[in-house]
Amino acid sequence: MNEQDLKEMIRSLLSEMDTDTVTELKKEEQTQNSEFKSLEKNGVQPDKEETTIEDGIIPDITEVDIQEQFLVPNAINEEAYRKIKKFTPARLGLWRAGNRYKTETVLRFRADHAAAQDAVFSYVSDDFVKEMGFIPVQTKASTKDEYLTRPDYGRVFPEDQQKIIKESCKPNPKVQIVVGDGLSSSAIEANVRDFLPALKQGLKMFGLDFNEVLFIKHARVAAMDQIAELTGAEVICMLVGERPGLVTAESMSAYMAYKPTVGMPESRRTVVSNIHKGGTPAVEAGAYVAEIIKKILDNKKSGVELK
């Protein structure tokens, strides 16, 4: 399935959404307005909550905090239920209509699923890459469809891109930073701005620094291995957007390796994952990754060997 087919499928799904929800909300609003007018006639000023529905558009359902939302009526122990929800983004306490989910729950599920798909099929904007001063390169994968169906293409660079990497990066650096779009462009734009300054400051505390930052389009994690061979970097740190789920589409990971080589086992990588506002905040993660890089350089090993 190509990108165009996927977009058509999404449009079809959206068009099939239950319009009864909008109708019911409009009826509810009309009923509330009648009640408010009746109260105002009797000299009572009600606390009217603004709920505007225009042209079938309802408020953004994704703005609701799932961990705060509680839909179970007459719960035996609502306080304990809400306490559990504070510790997980799982969809607890949703309730039902007969044997089915409530309409609100289904719409939220579809919205989160759409956000996950957008994160995979969209691109990090050129303006963002320019703003951050990254050096753009691209793997052998020439399209998003090819990137998804041929993971091996996302791990290597064609000769012209190898030349750009060699000419643009300082040879044999202690630390080389790489940013890859991976499976979530949203994760990169949401976290990198805060992550990199924290990383840079943390490295300076150890007498370390980094210069040029490469940005890889259509990147798989193992693309960092060929970059290490081309630049001679001692440690590669690659920030990459992770596969999105229904909890968040903005999760980023930092993969680190000591002198990685093409074809090396995954066990040689050290990773800090779940970097996003609902997990490990980008600033905190940047400082933590700086400490790990220092540890990797001191021990001259990474991955399971580092532990």
Determine if residue 79 is labeled as part of a ligand binding site.
no
Residue entry with tokens 């980008």: 282
| Inter-residue contact 214 to 247 (CB < 8 Å) | no
242 in a known ligand binding site: yes
Angstrom distance (rounded) from CA 261 to CA 88 = 38
254 vs 289: CA distance, rounded Å: 8
Report the alpha-carbon distance of residue 48 to residue 150 in Å, rounded.
56
**The residue type at 271:** V
Of 209, 183, 191, nearest in space to 284 by CA:
191
Structure tokens at 143: 């399209």
Contact between 139 and 218 (Cβ < 8 Å): yes
Q: Are 296 and 276 in contact (CB under 8 A)?
A: no
The angle subtended at Cα 85 by Cα 84 and Cα 89, nearest 5°, is: 130
What does residue 293 show for φ and ψ, rounded to 5 degrees? Answer: -60, -40
Q: Which of 290, 220, 228 is nearest to 259 (CA)?
A: 228
* Alpha-helix runs per DSSP H in 16-137: 20-41, 78-85, 103-121, 126-132
In this structure, the dihedral spanned by the alpha carbons of residues 286, 291, 295 and 301, taken in order and rounded to 10 degrees, is -10
Residue 213 pairs in a beta bridge with 177
- Write out the binding residues: 221, 242
- Write out the binding residues for adenosylcob(III)alamin: 221, 242
